[in-house]
């Protein structure tokens, strides 16, 4: 028997198996690179950075013993310059929606290692992302004053938003074609799954109909909600978290989630970054359901792990775009279309705003 045991261990050694069996975790240690003292994560700063630290960065530091250094702001030009010069300072960086696609197509990002970063609980169209990590989601939604539109007489679609006879009162909209052109086409009867490619001419014709009823063209997130609080408008558009921030303070405002425009926030690993493996491990942590719920509870915007809604504060969960009852009512903005067309559409919008 002893001889047989020695023979077995000899065979295992030949195939490199013995050490792994004799020392638990040895095989993993052979493939895991050394831990750096720190990694650098570039994000938006401010409240978002504070929430990221509490939900993700601190957990990463505790889990792996690697310090996370935060920088800001998000800057596609700086990312490109770093990659082209070969002097990449960031391990991971946030990238806004349109820029993320441009960064991917320009070869500025390392591929996401889907063996490390688990996207299996994300919406299906996001599960095979190759370079851009879908970190979170927010929606541009309709909001209205509940003291102006009582129960049973409230707007429920963009067609209602355009119906100034049935739903009278001043409106507010963002001073930007983003989302507005989609809303105009939905108001004109285009099904959400047939929006793209956008019929820009048709959208602007529909925008002509609502233009004179828009009292405020907002330019900041804070302004979008405040105009309803101040009653400069009784019906408007805003990012969902902005409405939630005033609703929780007691403002008589409600959100209509139907036909909300969903958009991803994104992160990526710069091409040529140091410690790519540990960047992947940070993204893997950010993809987990429970840390995402911590983030959502702090800042009011969820991650895209659909399991995370189970761990979000029950009082907050109904204000999340990923809340199951809301998710099916909304549509996803096409970042591909936006990246290809945003510049020329913005130029047309600027001219349109100057027209009477």
Are 210 and 145 within one domain?
Answer: yes
Q: Are strands 235-239 and 133-145 parallel, antiparallel or unpaired?
A: antiparallel
The CA distance from 128 to 123, in Å, is: 10
The CA distance from 289 to 305, in Å, is: 6
Q: Which residues pair with 39 in a beta bridge?
A: 68
Choose among 335, 347, 349: nearest CA to 196: 335
- Asked whether residue 116 is domain-assigned, the answer is yes
Are 117 and 157 within one domain?
Answer: no
Give the mean model confidence (pLDDT) for residues 57-63.
98
The CA distance from 222 to 238, in Å, is: 9
Q: List the alpha helices (DSSP H) in 196-323.
A: 200-210, 221-229, 240-247, 276-286, 289-299
Are 313 and 348 within one domain?
Answer: no
Contacts of 6 (CB under 8 A, 6+ apart): none
Are 176 and 292 within one domain?
Answer: no
Choose among 141, 175, 351: nearest CA to 243: 141
- Asked whether residue 177 is domain-assigned, the answer is yes
Q: How many domains, in total, are found in the chain?
A: 2
Give the mean model confidence (pLDDT) for residues 207-225.
96
- Asked whether residue 58 is domain-assigned, the answer is yes
pLDDT higher than 50, residue 5? no
Are 211 and 74 within one domain?
Answer: no
Are 117 and 166 within one domain?
Answer: no
Give the model's confidence band at 98: pLDDT under 50 very low, under 70 low, under 90 confident, else very high: confident
Q: What does the DSSP 8-state code read for residue 114?
A: T
Contacts of 35 (CB under 8 A, 6+ apart): 64, 65, 66, 278
Domain extent, residue 142, equals 138-261+323-354
- Asked whether residue 248 is domain-assigned, the answer is yes
Are 125 and 169 within one domain?
Answer: no
Give the model's confidence band at 19: pLDDT under 50 very low, under 70 low, under 90 confident, else very high: very low
The CA distance from 109 to 269, in Å, is: 6
* CATH, residue 164: 3.40.190.10
Q: Which residues pair with 253 in a beta bridge?
A: 145
Are 105 and 132 within one domain?
Answer: yes
- Asked whether residue 25 is domain-assigned, the answer is no
Give the model's confidence band at 11: pLDDT under 50 very low, under 70 low, under 90 confident, else very high: very low
Are 99 and 132 within one domain?
Answer: yes
Are 206 and 301 within one domain?
Answer: no
Are 125 and 215 within one domain?
Answer: no
Q: Compute how many other C-beta atoms are within 10 angstroms of the C-beta atom of residue 224.
A: 24
Tokens for 118? 């688990």
Choose among 282, 287, 294: nearest CA to 126: 287
**Angle between the 200-210 and 335-354 helix axes, to the nearest 10 degrees?**
50
Are 39 and 111 within one domain?
Answer: yes
Q: What would the pLDDT profile of 115-171 be if each residue is shown by its tens digit?
A: 999 999 999 999 998 999 999 999 999 999 999 999 999 999 999 999 999 999 999
Tokens for 256? 């209509």
**Model pLDDT, residue 9:** 38
- E strands, 72-185, are 92-95, 133-145, 171-174
**pTM of this structure:** 0.84
- Asked whether residue 18 is domain-assigned, the answer is no
- Asked whether residue 12 is domain-assigned, the answer is no
pLDDT higher than 80, residue 4? no
- Asked whether residue 19 is domain-assigned, the answer is no
Q: Compute how many other C-beta atoms are within 10 angstroms of the C-beta atom of residue 190.
A: 18
Cis, peptide link before residue 197, omega less than 30° from 0: yes
pLDDT higher than 70, residue 3? no
Residue with tokens 């969903």: 262
Give the mean model confidence (pLDDT) for residues 183-196.
98
């Amino acid at each position: 028997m002893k001889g047989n045991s020695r023979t077995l261990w000899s065979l295992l050694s030949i195939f490199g198996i013995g050490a792994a069996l004799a020392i638990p975790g040895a095989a993993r240690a052979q493939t895991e690179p050394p831990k750096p003292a720190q990694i650098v994560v570039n994000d938006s700063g401010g409240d978002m950075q504070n929430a990221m630290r509490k939900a993700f960065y601190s957990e990463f530091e505790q889990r792996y013993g690697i310090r996370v250094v935060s920088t800001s702001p998000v800057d596609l030009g700086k990312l490109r310059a770093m990659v082209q010069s070969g002097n990449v300072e960031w391990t991971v960086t946030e990238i806004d929606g349109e820029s993320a696609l441009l960064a991917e197509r320009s070869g500025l990002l390392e591929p996401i290692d889907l063996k490390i970063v688990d996207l299996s609980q994300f919406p299906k169209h996001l599960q095979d992302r190759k370079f851009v990590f879908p970190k979170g989601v927010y929606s541009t939604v309709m909001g209205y004053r509940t003291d102006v539109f009582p129960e049973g007489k409230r707007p429920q679609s963009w067609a209602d938003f355009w119906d100034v006879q049935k739903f009278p009162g001043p409106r507010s909209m963002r001073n930007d074609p983003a989302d507005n052109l989609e809303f105009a086409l939905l108001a004109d009867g285009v099904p959400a799954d047939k929006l793209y490619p956008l019929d820009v001419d048709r959208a602007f014709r529909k925008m002509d109909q609502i233009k004179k009823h828009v009292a405020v063209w907002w330019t900041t997130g804070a302004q979008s909600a405040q105009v309803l609080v101040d009653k400069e408008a009784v019906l408007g558009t805003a990012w969902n978290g902005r409405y939630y921030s005033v609703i929780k303070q007691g403002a008589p405002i409600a959100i209509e989630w139907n036909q909300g425009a969903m958009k991803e926030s994104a992160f990526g690993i710069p091409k040529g970054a140091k410690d790519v493996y540990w960047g992947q491990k940070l993204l893997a942590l950010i993809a987990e359901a429970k840390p995402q719920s911590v983030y959502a509870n702090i800042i009011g915007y969820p991650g895209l792990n659909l399991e995370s809604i189970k761990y979000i504060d029950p009082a907050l969960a109904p204000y999340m775009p990923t809340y199951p009852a809301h998710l099916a009512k909304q549509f996803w903005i096409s970042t591909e279309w936006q990246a290809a067309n945003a510049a020329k559409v913005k130029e047309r919008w600027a001219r349109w705003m100057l027209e009477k």
